[in-house]
Chain A
């Protein structure tokens, strides 16, 4: 095994940040091959390996490395490379179990902290709950075992897991009344405590505004064409949300900065696309998360949205459901709101607000992106938004080749039973689901669900 060390690249710097990994663990590399990219205060440099072999990286993106530190190990065989895993974690450098000193502890950066802590892979050998934490776990019907190894657990830790952060562990209603008491004496006001759910929401959103550099851009488009496409797919009661989520999740990897956040002079990039969807069905604002949204197809997204809605109504959210969103979408298009600026959430650089107004044929819609200017620029966001708009508009009926070929769009019929679209939907309503299919002769045509299931 050969260790690859960080050389001194620039006279002024001893620390470099890892900004790119060009290989993965276990990859075969050639001598001279560039494997990682480092950034100093001056410039970015490529790091090559001096010998060929199978590589095991000792750094991750975002790590700060010092001159002389090992950034990779090269093994002669693939099996050695893989089996070295255990050895390398016992050296204490990356291990979370050992805590030899306080300094080392404080160096742990909250890279994708919310998600990591959610895995509950606690680094402590014990778990103890405060009384309030116990209560909260009981209230939310959470599994105590989920917190194994997380050490001392206060209600704040539980709140964190539920994505309901607060900085005030003994915050209670009494306190919130105390403050304005003096005002009440002088002003003609009535004072009512803010519910703890609302208070939590306030604190949660406040953190998103901490940077004070939030900005917003909006694109507008007419959605009638898309809606007609949806209608033909027999989705009359449906919003554009699943479609937008689908396109958004696929676009995000192209624009990684919208899936990131700023902290302590560093941009932290999330490695997965976990979209939080703001929901308020009269029981408080919640933002359940669709994990790895970019891995789900449209139908799966739809189903996930439905199941989250059910969970909302049945109070069945688990901590996993409510935490770790990497960006957020808020949809008020069905509320008659054409345009609004949503509030950015903590540890996110971007939130997408969808507005729309049913005002006749055009059905105008807007997509507003509120973004953290510390991470993103106006130009980056305008490119992103326009691309998203273009992708969504591709579903417009006039752009869908398969649909345009039909002479009269209203005259869709099941190619087997010839029932008209109008009659069919009238008869089966919610059950109705006209599917695009391929006829035996190879032509594309619609088929009703009864015919599709073959009687």
Chain B
């Protein structure tokens, strides 16, 4: 396999010699070690030669295109032709124009809400950008992304401050792993310096020596807030603290910027290490359309020294012809965009296929052992699979030992990360864009909140908002839930916050069927972003191979199969819908309900809890008179609430009524955690989380009061 940062780290620490490290990488590592101190003193060794006229014209042409397109967009907004918002880079155009001159096709570019200039300079599709604004089918993202969310051939932008930086880091990592000499460039503003995920990413990029170039467009204002109000310390110190070398430039001396860009791009590429380029600049227009409180005098001062404004305001300027040709080009592009058809409807994938169940059996093994063995075979079989997480390497092997022995066998693909949940999920997202499939372990599900943005606004969004141009096969695995006395922040079931996020799939393994098939399926790729819930209590459980006499386990033919524990008799009273560890509780009460309470109960245990369509299971549900949904987490607006809402709707469909002629309105109930944080003391925790007796009582109550 290709070169790898973890290996480098090991060598540097002198722990062991890693086999498989390429000679090229070896020399790269060595040269960096020996010349490090010398490099730091070279604060500015850029080539100061003058640009040729053609180089100048090319850069200015790009910058003027960006300028004219944005001026056009502003006027279209003011005329009411466009909706939404536009963040212009007028005054900052030279950054994209200069940097893009030095990039190669294998390089990835990441931008932000102020992305038009970067996009136009790097990709140049004016008509597609206009079409995007106009909601046309031929738009960069078919009208779905709009102003802030663009994607084309390795160019990505997103409207979340700093959120794209770990993704860029991941792609830099992917480039390094695949031994391509591509780099990742990410543009951020000085306002983004307030975001924590940025520093998580810089730390990772520096520690792992990834080819990531961070360009800070320092325009002094975050929306309306002046930098002096919010920024402590210096910008350069921020990077240097992580060992990332910084280069400085500005847009007014744009030829110097050109050379600086050339230097940093080359350094990152050649030395395979991150760098930062801080470009002082000034935004001449409002943050968005009209929200500008800065003094006109201040703006005027910067306008006067702006290289493009100098051309625009002087018809006799030697480069004025570039302005005219840019305007002409833009008019043509706009015409093309206007002619394109409107994107009238979204392509939605709806899956209404009936589910079929067949009898099944599972191996007799502990869940943890099964998952661990499955990962061993996955890593062997699928070379593109990466296992990321905190403390996952041997000898520790993960907080719950899921990755035990993995790093011994696959040291280059099993990586210990810093405690940076957001960055490591973002890293997984970036790796996915680069063709790798990461299983990212979040040590406790409670920490998912730290990665929420990466899951919801990045992993889940990319495929849809980029109109299907990319797919993010990232699996975020996390041990979830309580019953272990870990207390309020290490025991929760937070999955409900991720249910209903379009583009995301939420799965939960259980101990009443073989979990291996879920991991095997995910390892094949093509699943998109997946949040995989592993309830902690499952790890130590034996996979249920023997069900109480009179109950048979049947497995569905879904991609992530559901289990239906079917009572063998003519009439079924209750169907419990439960996923994850709750399925075991449901199975455990079957005999008590039958023997002592005269109630025949079935259990439906879905593995995929989002997206979830109850109607696909209507054959199962229709057999029962009562429906009970059991979940470990909070009940409000959660899985159970959704199932019951869908059930109520299902009652009014003819297909369900046909399937269920004698029982059109079964009675329903939910059992979930009480509305309290989860106490650490065992006897208190028991009062909060559902248990077998609660379930029995709930079901008896349901039937009594029906």
Contact = CB atoms under 8 A, between A and B. Distances in A.
Interface of A: 100-103, 106, 117, 124, 126, 128, 130-133, 150-157, 167-171, 175, 263-264
Nearest to B552: A99
The DSSP consensus for interface residues of chain A is mixed
Contacts of A157: 569-571
Contacts of B704: 170-171, 175
Interface stretch (B224-232, B518-526, B596-604): B596-604
Given A170-B700, A170-B703, A133 B619 contact: no
Given A102-B623, A103-B356, 6 more contacts: A106-B619, A126-B549, A150-B569, A151-B568, A169-B597, A170-B597
Interface string B673-705: 000000000000000000000000000100111
Interface string B573-601: 10000000000000000000011111110
A154 B594 contact: yes
Contact of A151 (B550, B564, B659): B550
Given A102-B566, A126-B550, A152-B567, A167 B599 contact: no
Those 3 A-B pairs whose CB atoms lie nearest each other, nearest first: A151-B569, A132-B598, A152-B569
B661 interface: yes
- Number of contact residues on B: which range applies? 35 or more
Contacts of A171: 704
Contact of A103 (B599, B619, B706): B619
The DSSP consensus for interface residues of chain B is mixed
A188 to B, nearest CB: 26
B550 A102 contact: no
A146 to B, nearest CB: 15
A45 B59 CA distance: 82
18 contacts: A103-B354, A117-B570, A124-B569, A130-B594, A130-B596, A133-B598, A151-B568, A152-B550, A154-B571, A154-B573, A154-B594, A157-B569, A157-B570, A169-B573, A169-B599, A169-B600, A170-B704, A263-B661
Contact of B598 (A106, A126, A170): A170
B554 interface: yes
Given A128-B549, A264-B661, A151 B356 contact: no
Contacts of A152: 550, 567-569, 594, 600
A116 to B, nearest CB: 10
Given A124-B569, A150-B569, A175-B704, A102 B597 contact: no
A351 to B, nearest CB: 21
Nearest to B602: A102
Nearest to B567: A152
Interface in B514-566: 549-550, 554, 564, 566
Contact of B599 (A106, A126, A170): A170
B625 interface: yes
B470 to A, nearest CB: 38
Contacts of A263: 661
A154 to B, nearest CB: 5
B357 interface: yes
Contacts of B599: 130, 154, 169-170
Nearest to B699: A170
A167 B663 CA distance: 10
Contacts of B568: 124, 126, 151-152
Nearest to B598: A132
B358 interface: yes
Nearest to B625: A167
B703 A168 contact: yes
A101 B569 contact: no
B620 interface: yes
Contacts of A154: 569, 571, 573, 594, 598-600
A364 B598 CA distance: 50
A153 B550 CA distance: 10
Most chain B CB neighbours (cut-off 10 Å) among A151, A152, A171, A264: A152
A246 to B, nearest CB: 35
A168 B599 CA distance: 9
A126 B622 CA distance: 25
Given A106-B619, A128-B549, A168-B703, A151 B594 contact: no
Nearest to B593: A130
Contacts of A169: 573, 597-600, 703
Contacts of B596: 130-131
Contacts of A101: 356-358, 554
A101 B625 CA distance: 20
